[in-house]
Chains A and B, each alone.
Chain A
Amino acid sequence: MIKGLHEPLISESLFYQVQSVINTKRKTTAKRDDLQSLFFLRGFLTCPICNRKLVGSISKGRSKKYPYYHCRDGCKTRIDAISLNNCYQKKLQQFILSNNTIELFKNILEDQNIKTLKASYLYAQKGLERKINEEKLILSQGRKLFITGILKIDDYNELKRENQISTQNLKKEANDITAKLKGIDKKNQIEDNTLVKIFERFSEFETSDKRHLVNLIPPTDIDFKTGALSLDLNQAFLKILSKKNNRKTKKNEFH
């Protein structure tokens, strides 16, 4: 540990306490990404009998594997994970962004696209322009040396050939970037009716994002026999989301 000049954010003893926790051998559960993805509702489901959190695991059948959310230590609660996951996704996708929120969402998309991706493409584009100009300069200098007799014809031709190949490649890269920039601008002109389906690609979300979303919109009133569930939408989300048929939900929960 290196002693700094600034005031410490945490005490030395707390630092060592945390280090000892980090260094202890701990039991890691659901470490594998595929399991995390398969049981993305894990931690948000409570056993209706014993009130404990359900866990997820896969039962091996004769020819197939069956993933379940289930309780432990003799408690028999269990439910098919796929159907519950699908039910959650289906319920979620019944909601769209209300028209009044489109302006804010467009601002956010622009913030994500333009300030990150577009900026990086523009930076690369400038770099390529600079390199193309450098190539032009090299050829011009070579030509001068050839005229003054310093550079032989064979060497000049070799230089010219190399220069042409290099410039062609740089121009190809520059064209690719121009196409990508056009693509970004096109994306920013997405029609509003496509824009509102914000949960449409939920199945392609990263697992951590899926779980983040489940944390924001948790399942509730789960029927462990039928697999039916409701979504617990808080007041803030009720203001910006509406059902696909444009009827606004009036209750706190969507059934």
Chain B
Amino acid sequence: MNFIEKNISVEKAVIILSKNGIQVDEKEAKIILELLYLVSKNYDKPKEKKISYP
């Protein structure tokens, strides 16, 4: 299933980024969270053998 449970809220993301000098609005934070959660989902996967194309 492609569902990712997100516990970091948009508001929290805005605060964390702002603390680090990145100013984003809620719309931007939402899409940033979407990207980072997507990447994190695949971050710790065990390494697979490279599949060769036909």
Q: Point out residues on A near B: beta carbons under 8 Å.
A: 37-38, 58, 64-65, 67, 82, 98, 100-101, 103-105, 107-109, 111-113, 115-116, 187, 198-199, 201, 203-206, 208-209, 212-213, 216-217, 234-237, 239-240
> B22 is contacted by which of A201, A212, A240 (Cβ under 8 Å)?
A240
CB of B50, distance to nearest CB on chain A (Å): 7
C-alpha spacing A206/B4, complex, angstroms: 13
Cα A177 to Cα B22 with chains together (Å)? 39
Contact B6 A111 (CB under 8 A): yes
Q: Is the CB of B20 within 8 A of A236?
A: no
16 A–B contact pairs at CB < 8 A? A82-B53, A98-B22, A104-B17, A108-B40, A109-B44, A112-B4, A112-B41, A204-B45, A205-B42, A212-B2, A216-B38, A235-B28, A236-B31, A239-B22, A239-B24, A239-B28
Q: Which 7 A-B pairs have the closest CB atoms?
A: A236-B28, A65-B54, A100-B20, A198-B39, A104-B16, A111-B7, A205-B42
Given contacts A115-B7, A237-B35, 6 further A-B contacts (CB under 8 A): A103-B19, A105-B36, A108-B36, A208-B2, A209-B2, A213-B38
| Residues of the A chain whose Cβ atoms lie less than 8 Å from the Cβ of B41 | 112, 209
Q: Are A67 and B28 in contact (CB under 8 A)?
A: no
Instruction: Tell which of B19, B29, B34, B50 touches A203, judged by Cβ atoms closer than 8 Å.
Output: B50
A113 touches B45 (CB 8 A): no
A209 to B40, CA, bound (A): 11
Q: How far is the CA of A38 from the CA of B44 in the complex (A)?
A: 23
A216 near B35 (CB under 8 angstroms)? yes
Q: Is the CB of A105 within 8 A of B22?
A: no
B38–A113 contact, CB under 8 A?
no
Given contacts A107-B16, A108-B37, A187-B44, contact A100 B22 (CB under 8 A): yes
Q: Which of chain A's residues have a CB closer than 8 A to the CB of B53?
A: 38, 67, 82
Q: Which residues of A contact B12 (CB under 8 A)?
A: 107
Q: Which residues of A contact B32 (CB under 8 A)?
A: 101, 104, 236-237, 239-240
Q: Are A201 and B42 in contact (CB under 8 A)?
A: yes
A209 touches B31 (CB 8 A): no
User: Which of B24, B34, B53 lies at the interface centre, i.e. has the most chain A CB atoms within 10 A of its CB?
Assistant: B53
A58-B44 contact, Cβ under 8 Å, with A105-B36, A108-B37, A209-B38: no
Within the complex, the shortest CB–CB distance from A209 to chain B, in Å, comes to 6
Instruction: Considering the complex, give the chain B residue whose CB is closest to the CB of A60.
Output: B54
A208 partner residues in chain B, CB cutoff 8 A: 2
Q: With a CB–CB cut-off of 8 A, which chain B residues contact A204?
A: 42, 45, 47-48
Instruction: Please give, as numbers and ranges, the residues of chain A lying within 8 Å of B31 by CB-CB distance.
Output: 216, 234, 236-237
Best-buried of A38, A104, A107 by chain B (most CB within 10 Å): A104
Annotate B3-32 by CB proximity to A: 1 below 8 A, 0 otherwise: 011111000110011011111100111011
Which of the residues A58, A67, A101, A203 comes within 8 Å of B20, measured between beta carbons? A101
- Please name the residue on chain B nearest to A109 by beta carbon: B40
